[in-house]
Amino acid sequence: MSTLATLSRPYAKAAFELALADQALAAWSDRLALSAEMVTEPALARLLESPQVSHERVVAIMSDAAGDRFDKRFLDFLAVLADNGRLALLPQIGELFGALRDEAEQRLSVRVVSAVPLDDEQAARMRDALARRFEREIELHNDVDAGVIGGAVVYAGDQVIDGSLRGRLQRLSSRLAN
3-state helix/strand/coil string of the chain: CHHHHHHHHHHHHHHHHHHHHCCCHHHHHHHHHHHHHHHHCHHHHHHHHCCCCCHHHHHHHHHHHHHHHCCHHHHHHHHHHHHCCCHHHHHHHHHHHHHHHHHHCCEEEEEEEECCCCCHHHHHHHHHHHHHHHCCEEEEEEEECHHHCCCEEEEECCEEEECCHHHHHHHHHHHHHC
pTM assigned to the model: 0.73
Q: What is the pLDDT tens value at each position of the chain, 178 positions in all?
A: 468 889 999 999 999 999 999 999 999 999 999 999 999 999 988 988 888 988 889 999 999 999 999 999 999 999 999 999 999 999 999 999 999 999 999 999 899 999 999 999 999 999 999 999 999 999 999 999 988 888 899 999 889 999 888 888 888 888 888 7
pLDDT of residue 2: 63
Task: For domain 107-177, give the CATH number.
Answer: 3.40.30
**What does the pLDDT read at residue 164?**
86
- Specify the fold of 2-102: Peroxidase; domain 1 (1.10.520)
